[in-house]
Structure 1
Amino acid sequence: MAEGVRRRAWLYPTVFTAIAALVFMIRMLPLGTEAGSWPGPDLLLCLIVAWVMRRPDYLPAPLLALVLLAEDLLLMRPPGLWAALVLIASEFLRSRAALTRELTFPFEWLLSSGLMLALRFAERTIAALAFLPQPALAEQMLQTAMSILFYPLAVGFCWLVLDLRKPAPGELDAFGRRM
């Protein structure tokens, strides 16, 4: 039994890192570079929110910070801004894990949508206060809308492929504590 717990403790962070590396590679490919094309969803953000809503104990905050900082550096965004905002949002969700466990999917989708919009506006506000160059507002809002629409697919991926389900009421973690 302890071997299964130890395996899960390493398996899920490793899987998350591999998925993030795949998303980085896809985003770095020169696809859809024509002017006027629609921006795609932020796949990593959708995956992080869905993962933390389901099993926050399987995604450690230091790993999340490192992956998001690497994303900032690879995509030439202000280093640490988006990483810090997403980390704060994930810790917000992590601290409310008992409440989000009881949400039905439409309310979960509404909460994640509000969180994604809040992240985007916080990023734009901080960037404006620091006089950083920003992409067009319409482009970022379109990407956020695409991420909101993609969120159910990310939840389905977490549920069907990764077997990440919300813990049942009264379920115990590896140390015998209620989740």
Structure 2
Amino acid sequence: MIDPLTRRRLGYRTLFIGIGFALIFVRLLPLSHTPGALPGPDLMLALTLAWVLRRPEYVPALLIVIVFLLEDILFWRPIGLWTLIVLGATEFLRARETALRDLPFALEWALVAVLLVVMMSLKRFMLMIVMVDQPALGLELFRMLMTLAAYPVVVMVSRVAFGLRRAAPGEVDAFGHRL
């Protein structure tokens, strides 16, 4: 029999993978044939950042690598570059999770904004070094702004629909370990 803590962790990890595959599937659907459409938000990135800031144990590094590497392969991006950048950003947040636990949402949103700018700049710099064609800067900035605008919605849906919340200071699990 599985203890409730392990069941909850496995449930959220399965949910993360399921949402990731569903978002990839929806992005692969030929819903619009209009060229030159504006890019939408990167919901998987917003979801990953929100979940790592709330419950980092639900989103281990291996799951992040699996989902984002699959995105790199399926969407014809330089394989591993965006995955490595996202992994670095999530590990940066994971290392500071206890310090960021009491952060008000406005400051969390600002932190995510700064992180998105750093991630996009790092990606563009790396692609510039190896002289790979890059998307237009305006389109990437718009996608980053759309992702930032979608972040509060992703946080709210994660809280309301999935019951994902931050660990309270001093909260313990079923075994008495501090979260």
Common fold by TM > 0.5: yes
What is the rounded CA distance, in whole Å, between the counterparts of 1:118 and 1:6 in structure 2?
Answer: 34
Q: Percent identity?
A: 41
What is the rounded CA distance, in whole Å, between the counterparts of 2:52 and 2:175 in structure 1?
Answer: 20
Is 1:21–2:21 an aligned residue pair? Answer: yes
Task: Describe how 1:34-49 pairs up with structure 2 within 5 A.
Answer: 34-49=34-49
The aligned amino acid for 2:118 is A
- Structure 1 residue aligned with 2:50: 50
Structure 1: which 5+ residue stretches go unaligned?
Answer: none
What is the rounded CA distance, in whole Å, between the counterparts of 1:89 and 1:173 in structure 2?
Answer: 26
- 1:127-175 Cα deviation digits (max 9, x unpaired): 1101111111100110000000010001001111111101111011354
- Structure 2 residue aligned with 1:161: 161
Task: Describe how 1:88-167 pairs up with structure 2 within 5 A.
Answer: 88-167=88-167
What is the rounded CA distance, in whole Å, between the counterparts of 2:174 and 2:84 in structure 1?
Answer: 29
What is the rounded CA distance, in whole Å, between the counterparts of 1:33 and 1:156 in structure 2?
Answer: 31
- Judge conservation of contact 2:171–2:178 (CA < 8 Å) in 1: yes
Structure 2: which 5+ residue stretches go unaligned?
Answer: none
- 1:90-120 Cα deviation digits (max 9, x unpaired): 0000000011111001001000111111111
CA RMSD of aligned residues (A): 1.4
- Structure 1 residue aligned with 2:30: 30
- Structure 1 residue aligned with 2:69: 69
Question: How many positions carry a matched residue from both structures?
Answer: 179
The aligned amino acid for 2:127 is A
- Moved segments of 4+, more than 6 Å: none
What is the rounded CA distance, in whole Å, between the counterparts of 2:10 and 2:44 in structure 1?
Answer: 20
What is the rounded CA distance, in whole Å, between the counterparts of 2:139 and 2:31 in structure 1?
Answer: 17
- Judge conservation of contact 2:39–2:142 (CA < 8 Å) in 1: yes
What is the rounded CA distance, in whole Å, between the counterparts of 2:175 and 2:64 in structure 1?
Answer: 23
What is the rounded CA distance, in whole Å, between the counterparts of 2:80 and 2:175 in structure 1?
Answer: 34
- Judge conservation of contact 2:101–2:167 (CA < 8 Å) in 1: yes
User: The residue matched to 2:169 in structure 1 has which SS?
Assistant: coil
What is the rounded CA distance, in whole Å, between the counterparts of 2:104 and 2:34 in structure 1?
Answer: 39
TM-score, length-scaled by structure 1: 0.95
What is the rounded CA distance, in whole Å, between the counterparts of 1:140 and 1:158 in structure 2?
Answer: 25
- Structure 1 residue aligned with 2:80: 80
